[in-house]
Copies of this chain bind each other. A is one copy, B any other.
C-alpha cells in the first residue's frame, strides 16, 4: 500500500491511474491495451455481475453464449455497423504455428491460413442475428430475451484501465420482438434497469436520455444512455440500450409469421454495460486518501482491526470479536477480521482506508473492558465509540447511511456542476473553466454538433427522456431550437 500519488486537484487523470493500480484493482498487461483485473478489482466486478444478472433474470431474460469469432462476411451485411467497427477489429487469419526453420522460436504457419478471416467480436449483433434466423419462425417464438456475459475486443489506440481497453468484459443483451413498440419498450426497460443499478447500487446519480444521431450505436435507430458526472466535471456514459428497428433482421433475413399470418421482419434491441463501470465507480466516489466504495458493492464491508501487544491480549479481543463477526455475517454483512501479527494496526488502518472499506472497527484491551469499539467511516473519515451491545444494528444502519451519503454527495456535486447557458461565450467559458453538464439549445443538425465538438471537445451526451420543450436559439448557430440538450466533455 502506498500513498505516493497525486491528489485529484493536482492531476485528476494521474490520480485515477495510480489509484486503480495501487489499490490492486487492475494493471496493464504485457499485451498492448489489455488489462489484468486483479482479485480485489475482480471481486467488485463479481458483485456488479451478480446484481445485474439477477435484475436481468427478474425481467425475464436468460443467459446464452455465442462464439467469440465472427466471420468477416457477416460484418459487411449491416452497412452502418461495419462502418462503426471495422477500424478497430482484431482479425484472426491463421490457425497454427510452427517451429521457425532457423530454430529460433516459432512462426505463423502460412499453410494454415483461414479461408475467411475471423473477427474477434467487438459486439455480437451480427453472429446472433445470423443465428436467430433459425430460431424464429412465428410470433409464437417471440420474444427472445437473451443476454450473454462475455469478453469483447475493440482495438482502441489510446487505452486507460477500465475506461477504455482493447479487451473488456461486459454483458450484451440481444432481444427479438414481434413489434416496434415491444422492442422500444424493451430498450427503455433495460435503460431503467441500468439507471436503477447505477443509482441504488453504485450510488451514482445518472441522467437518462437518447443519443443524437451522430452518437448512436452503429446500426441503431435510437440509442438510450445513462450519463454520470465524474469529479473532474467530465461525463461518463455508464450504459446504453439500443432500439435496432429491423436493421439486423433485414441484414440477416430474419422474418416471422405474424398473427395475421404475414411474413414480417423481426424487431430488435440490444443493451450492454461493461467493466467501464469499474472506472465510473472509482472516479465517482474516491478521494485523495484512496478508494471509497459504496457498501453494496464493497468486497469487504467491515474490517475489524484488533490492537494488541501480546497473544494474551489478542485472545481476549478475539473472544469479543467472534460473536460480533458472526452476528454481522448473519445479517449479510461481509466482515474481515484482520488478526495478523505481521502488520501493525496503523498499517492496517491505512490499508483499509486506501482500499475503500466502508467501515473499520478497532478494538483494544481497554475497549474490551468498557464493552465498546471504535468505528470509523470511510466516506466521512469520522470516528465514534459505540457500545458492543447494539453494534450489529448500528453497523447495518451505518452501512445504509454510507450508501445514501455517497449517493447524496454525488448528486449534490452534479447539481452544483450542472449549468444552463444561453450564449456561445457562456458555453465556451463554462466548458473551459467549470466543466460539468451544460444544458443548451441546439439546432438539431449533425453539422453544428460536429463544430461544437471541434471547438470545445464537448459532445451532446443526451437529449433527456421526456425533455421539456422550450423554444430558443441554438447556442452555436443561432438557429431555432425547440429544446435544450445536455453537453459535456466526456470519457
Contact = CB atoms under 8 A, between A and B. Distances in A.
A64 B41 CA distance: 8
B127 A117 contact: no
In this complex, the member of A74, A108, A130 whose beta carbon has the largest number of chain B beta carbons within 10 angstroms is A108
A91 B97 contact: yes
Contact of A63 (B46, B87, B91, B95): B46
Contacts of A93: 91-94, 108
Given A29-B67, A31-B71, A95 B89 contact: yes
Interface stretch (A32-40, A381-389, A442-450, A463-471): A32-40
A155 to B, nearest CB: 4
Contact of A82 (B67, B76, B106, B127): B106
A88 B130 CA distance: 26
Interface string A67-110: 11111111110000010001111111111111100000110100
Nearest to A155: B95
Interface residues of A, number: 62
A362 B117 CA distance: 52
Contact of A68 (B89, B96, B97, B153): B153
Contacts of A105: 72-73, 76
B37 A65 contact: yes
A340 B451 CA distance: 56
Contacts of A95: 88-91, 155
A97 B69 contact: no
A131 interface: yes
14 contacts: A29-B127, A31-B118, A36-B66, A36-B131, A42-B62, A43-B63, A46-B63, A68-B167, A69-B167, A86-B97, A88-B96, A90-B118, A91-B92, A91-B108
| 5 A-B pairs with the lowest CB-CB distances in the bound complex, closest first | A34-B67, A39-B62, A37-B65, A86-B97, A95-B155
